[in-house]
Chains A and B, each alone.
Chain A
Amino acid sequence: MNAIALPQADARPILRERGQHEVFCGLTGIVWLHRKIQDAFFLVVGSRTCAHLIQSAAGVMIFAEPRFATAILQDKDLAGLTDANEELDRVVSRLVLRRPDIKLLFLVGSCPSEVIKLDLSRAALRLSRALGPQVRVLNYSGSGIETTFTQGEDACLASMVPELPESLEGERNLLVVGALPDVVEDQFQRLFDALGIPVRFFPPRRSTQLPPLTPGTKFLLAQPFLASTAHALEERGAKRLASPFPFGVEGTTAWFEAAAKAFGVPEATVASVLAPAQQRAQTALGQVREKLAGKRIFFFPDSQLEVPLARFLSRELKMELVEVGTPYLHQEHLGPDLALLPANTVVSEGQDVERQLDRCRAAKPDLVVCGLGLANPLEVEGLATKWSIELVFTPIHGFEQAGDLAELFARPLLRRTRLMV
């Protein structure tokens, strides 16, 4: 399919492609979201394929009882929507009986439920009335016809925004938006405390602790894939602070500075609060830089983390960017990161996987960042790869993780130098 180059705001041509996408759908987000919100249950209304996808992405998880499941549509559910709704109510009431610990239930739409037009928002309202106030029922779509991979988190968080309580006190506060590993959240909390900025995190660890929105709420995105969540928050009057994303020393510094500026924290305070962590991160990066400097890297689209990660690798580790592919490019949210990419970097949006593989083979990069379906075959062809999914499941944000993040890219290269077989 045709790739059209269009001039963008920063005059960078974006390669837009619409062919086969080799990316997970939004259901995948359940794998990390259910670990984050500890009293929420995710019920996918879908097919056996949906159940199999989550199972394959979740891998060998050994949890006492995972807080997700799939209500697999059967032939008879397709016969009539009334029956499908009745079935859904039956499945949900059984589930709620068995799991009294659930406070928030997400009905997660899939391709099949969207195509048969099963209205999950009405179902959620109906079930909320029936099960409230003990259990709240929300819905969002993680379907592959509407969402890629991380957009599932976006849809999930956006569905929670109307639930955020309003607090009329003019208290100013900061909301950090995007699911972060608890360890990262705690580090950020300590830094914001030291800066004197009142901060809340969204999503919260428990659904009963939703952060309030006040007229003065400002928010910082911690993840680059939260377009609809940001939009929903803005609709409710919260103001987004623009910043590069908090990866690497530069990104994390800019991110905290954006907050500090909005909350009137003196520059000297910011500098002294961040300095120790920056120092540690620099030392950690220094050890990896020599392994990565000058190496050429190629990103296949996956998590939408590609642009800020490319910025980090190019500016702080001196890697050379061959192509930065991303499933969806949010020009506004990614503007500050895009502006920091070298002018000659090819940025591509969407995918035609076969054509992209052709470009990749022709470019012979030193490292390819790609999904699990592509990694081993590319290794066989002689290209070193880094699985992109690990970037979503590993703590990589902030100062303390900057070294780990760099290490993730260095390890495949290091391995190749060791092996003699």
Chain B
Amino acid sequence: MQLTVWTYEGPPHVGAMRVVTAMRGVHYVLHAPQGDTYADLLFTMIERRQVRPPVTYTTFQARDLGKDTAEIFKRSAREAYERFKPDLVVVGASCTAELIQDDPAGIGQTIGIPVPVVPVEFSAYQHKENHGASETLYRLVRACTQGVAKKTERAPGPPSCNLLGPTALGFRHRDDVTEITRLLAQLGVTVNVVASLGASPADLARLPDADFNVVLYREVGESAARYLTKTYGQPAVTTVPLGVGATRDFIKEVAALAKVDPEPVLSQVNSRLPWYTRSVDSTYLTGKRVFIFGDGTHVLAAARIATEELGFTVVGLGSYSRELARDLRAAAAHYGVEALISDDHLEVEETIARLHPELVLGTQMERHTAKRLGLPCAVISAPVHVQDFPARYSPQMGFEGANVIFDTWVHPLMMGLEEHLLSMFREDFEFGEGAGPSHLGAHAVKERSVEAQPAVVPAPVAAPSPAAQQPVAAAPAPVVKPEQPAGAVVTSWTPEAEKELKKIPFFVRGKARRNTERFAQERNIAQITLETLYDAKAHFRS
């Protein structure tokens, strides 16, 4: 048993839902109890999809167990077919139905539905959401290309590729697809099929027509790409175009496969990131200590952007994507840190607290953790939140994506500077102690004491209440332990050291104070002297 408060990934059948919901003409019959229908709200509330996910749940009950749950499955599948007339039906079980072993896969083949029935099965007690999405995409690709022969000769026309990996409820997938499609068009490469976002089963059958594949999200797209390489000899582009450098590499890799000249596109890169990051006001970004956590694809890319494009120092990185553990470990070694491969948000939080970075690049969970620890944070990866589906165009990939990333990552730091100024002048008459940093919102100061107060209403924000308008999210706030363990040494400053501290420029003074106190605490130094102050300074410098 694994004790869990919040999870980074849902169960595998939610991954399957992300794939089928992204498609047209597919219906998913899921053997599952009624509570599992909550998954619909992820799509209708968080992503604000305009139609319900194409999923029929059997919603069997205790009284059906051992009697006719298989019968219920048959009936649900037939009725779903009759009502929705899909081109293809996916059948499968959620974690509970997996235990009762009704064999939806077997039943699916025998109920006389006149369209292809594709079973997807997972070990729900072992696997998670991304595995479910990957496996479902792979099964669908295999089923839809069945009988499609390998091309002996390429069809005439411009070079073309498939985009593999985008799904419903994906982190910026919608805009990434638009951005990359445009970029490919500049190179003269057309997009044959996007799988699964917007594709029909007939579209999947056309996958082999493309000259090569582009894997945008490795967790979801890689198995399908491997299958297509093996079966149809299609090569796959593996560079993920996140960041300016990676996008350039991506262009070269695509150009080589498409046999086109990358130079015209490379010579007119229209990203502002390279200039903004070189402009003098970005100097203060140099060496900022960042901690990175998220899915494998985004973490690997973020580490490169952080170091090569913003001049940060990576002090730690990690991911909940076990499937990319090997690459993550290699990347970590490259940056001289250890990779934290974990889906335990408490462990991630402890790591952040220990490393005390100046910027956290993480998921919504780390955003909450960082907020509590008073650290700036930018969100780089799923699990998704309603804020990850902005009304405006906001890709992460390609050159426009790099612009978005520059803004998103630097913004909290600018705000962080404002915070320093605020704490610097905190004792001034115009700044009360209660004034929190503006970008943390009015809640920043109050939050810590929420649990201590008696609840006024039983559950304040489970649904958007009229006052709070807090949308339902897949990623709520993680648990945070008190920052100081009980029994820690209480440090005080000698007047002399305190005076010295005041001589340090105001915008680094807060940091100097925190670092020195941490230094003292770690060494059980009860009183900070001049000596301690400079020892600490030397320590953090090295």
A residues neighboring B (CB under 8 Å): 1, 19-28, 31-33, 35-36, 38, 45, 47-53, 55-66, 68-75, 77-78, 84, 87-88, 90-91, 94-95, 111-112, 114-116, 143-146, 148, 179-183, 205, 354, 371-377, 380, 387, 389-390, 392-395, 408, 411
Comparing B206-214, B398-406, B475-483, B520-528, the segment that makes contact with chain A is B475-483
Whether A72 touches B2, Cβ cut-off 8 Å, given contacts A48-B128, A64-B480, A182-B456, is yes
Q: Are A62 and B477 in contact (CB under 8 A)?
A: yes
Across-interface contacts of B45 in A (CB, < 8 A) = 372, 375-376
Given A111-B33, A377-B44, answer yes or no on A64-B457 (Cβ-Cβ < 8 Å): no
Describe A's contact surface by its main secondary structure.
Answer: helix
A65: contacting residue among B41, B123, B443, B451, CB under 8 A: B451
Decide: B62 and A373 in contact? CB cutoff 8 A: no
Interface check B464, CB cutoff 8 A: yes
Interface residues in B158-208 by Cβ distance below 8 A to A read none
Q: Of residues B94, B96, B464, B476, which shows the largest number of chain A Cβ atoms within 10 Å of its Cβ?
A: B96
Q: Is B432 an interface residue (CB 8 A)?
A: no
Q: List 8 A-B contacts (CB under 8 A).
A: A35-B459, A48-B4, A52-B14, A59-B473, A66-B479, A143-B35, A376-B45, A393-B458
* Beta-carbon contact of B36 and A49 below 8 Å: yes
Q: Is the CB of B363 closer than 8 A to any CB of chain A?
A: no
- Whether the pair B41, A55 counts as a contact (CB closer than 8 A) is no
Given pairs A52-B14, A115-B99, A387-B464, 20 additional interface contacts (CB within 8 A): A22-B34, A24-B35, A25-B34, A32-B462, A55-B7, A59-B471, A59-B473, A61-B462, A64-B449, A65-B480, A70-B5, A72-B1, A72-B2, A87-B1, A91-B3, A112-B95, A180-B458, A183-B457, A354-B79, A372-B472
B484 → chain A, closest Cβ, in Å? 14
> In the complex, what residues of B have CB within 8 A of residue A387's CB?
463-464
Once A51-B7, A182-B457 are accepted as A-B contacts, the answer to whether A91 and B1 lie under 8 Å apart by CB is: yes
Contact B456–A183 (Cβ < 8 Å): yes
Q: Are B35 and A111 in contact (CB under 8 A)?
A: yes
Identify B37's interface contact among A23, A47, A146, CB under 8 A.
A23
A47 touches B124 (CB 8 A): yes
In-complex Cβ contact of B463 among A45, A146, A372 (8 A): A372
* A212 → chain B closest CB, angstroms: 23
Residue of chain A at shortest CB distance from B386:
A60
> Whole-angstrom distance from the CB of A331 to the nearest CB of chain B?
19
Known: A94-B3, A182-B454, A372-B41. A112 touches B96 (CB 8 A): yes
Which candidate, B18-26, B49-57, B255-263, is the interface stretch facing chain A? Answer: B49-57
Chain A residues with CB under 8 Å of B149's CB are none
B33 pairs with A60, CB closer than 8 A? no
Please classify the interface of chain B as helix (H, G, I), strand (E, B), loop, or mixed, using the class held by over half of its residues: loop
List of B residues within 8 angstroms of A52 by Cβ: 7, 10-11, 14, 38-39, 474
Q: Is the CB of A143 within 8 A of B95?
A: no
Known: A25-B35, A375-B44, A393-B463. A145 touches B125 (CB 8 A): no
In this assembly, does B493 line the interface, its C-beta being within 8 Å of a C-beta of chain A?
A: no
Using Cβ atoms and an 8 Å threshold, which residues of chain A touch B460? 35, 61, 393
The reply to whether A62 and B447 form a contact with Cβ atoms under 8 Å apart is yes
Task: Judge whether A55 and B6 touch: CB under 8 Å.
Answer: yes
- Complex Cα spacing A144 to B463, Å: 20
**In the bound complex, CA of A179 to CA of B385 (Å):** 30
Query: A377–B451 contact, CB under 8 A?
Result: no
Query: With a CB–CB cut-off of 8 A, which chain B residues contact A90?
Result: 1
In contact, B470 and A60 (Cβ under 8 angstroms)? yes
Q: Decide: B1 and A88 in contact? CB cutoff 8 A.
A: yes
Q: Is the CB of B2 within 8 A of A71?
A: yes
| Contact present for A56 and B38 (CB under 8 Å) | yes
A-B Cβ contacts below 8 A, count: 283
Q: Report Cα–Cα, A354/B37, bound state, in Å.
A: 13
In the complex, A374→B481 CA distance in Å?
38
- Chain A's closest residue to B80 (CB) is A354
B150 on the A face (CB < 8 A): no
**How many Å lie between the Cα of A392 and that of B461 in the bound state?**
11
Distance between A117 CB and nearest chain B CB, rounded to angstroms: 10
Rounded to whole Å, the gap between the CB of A163 and the closest CB of chain B is 20
A392 CA to B38 CA, complexed, in Å: 16
Q: Which of A72, A183, A392 has the most CB of B within 10 A?
A: A72
Assembly CA distance A6 to B230 (angstroms): 61
Contact B5 A66 (CB under 8 A): yes
Assuming the contacts A148-B34, A372-B463, asked whether A64 and B56 have C-beta atoms less than 8 A apart, the reply is: no
B418 located at the interface, meaning its Cβ lies under 8 Å from any Cβ of chain A in the complex: no
B454 touches A69 (CB 8 A): no
Which of A19, A58, A94, A411 gathers most chain B CB within 10 Å?
Answer: A58
Q: What are the 5 A-B residue pairs with the smallest beta carbon separation, nearest first?
A: A25-B35, A144-B35, A373-B40, A32-B458, A144-B33
Contacts of A75 in B (CB 8 A): 123, 125-126
Chain A minimum-CB-distance residue to B443: A62
Instruction: Determine how close the nearest CB of chain A comes to the CB of B395; give it in whole angstroms.
Output: 24
On whether the beta carbons of B36 and A144 are closer than 8 Å, the reply is yes
Which residue, A60, A61, A88, A183, has most C-beta atoms of chain B within 10 A? Answer: A60
Q: Could you say which residues of chain B place their CB within 8 Å of the CB of A38?
A: 454-455
- Residues of the A chain whose Cβ atoms lie less than 8 Å from the Cβ of B456: 181-183
Chain A residue at smallest Cβ distance from B35: A25
Least CB distance, B72 to chain A, in whole angstroms: 9
Contacting pair B60 A145 (CB below 8 A): yes
B4 touches A72 (CB 8 A): yes
Residue contact A115 to B476, C-beta cutoff 8 Å:
no
B466 within 8 A of A: yes
B126 proximity list for chain A (CB < 8 A): 74-75
Q: Mark B74-107, 1 if CB is under 8 A from A, else 0.
A: 0110010001000000000011100110000000
A49-B94, A74-B1 known; A25+B33 contact, CB < 8 A? yes
- Closest residue of chain A to B9, judged by CB? A48
Q: State the CA gap A49–B98 with chains docked (Å).
A: 12
Contact (A146, B480) CB under 8 Å given A51-B7, A59-B472: no
The closest CB in chain B to the CB of A152 belongs to: B35
Q: What's the nearest-Cβ distance from chain B to residue A412, in Å? A: 11
Determine the chain A residues whose CB is within 8 A of the CB of B83 once the complex forms.
354
Q: In the bound complex, what is the Cα–Cα distance between A48 and B128 (angstroms)?
A: 8
Distance (Å) between the CB of A21 and the closest chain B CB? 4
B465 within 8 Å of A (CB atoms): yes
A103 → chain B closest CB, angstroms: 15
A22 to chain B, nearest CB (A): 5
Distance to closest chain A CB from B468 (angstroms): 9
Most buried by A among B11, B51, B60, B75: B11
Contact status A63-B59, CB under 8 Å? no
A48 and B11: CB pair below 8 A?
yes
Q: Which residue of A lies closest to B128 (CB)?
A: A48
User: Which residues in A have their C-beta under 8 angstroms from that of B141?
Assistant: none
Q: Which of B39, B62, B443, B470 has the most CB of A within 10 A?
A: B62
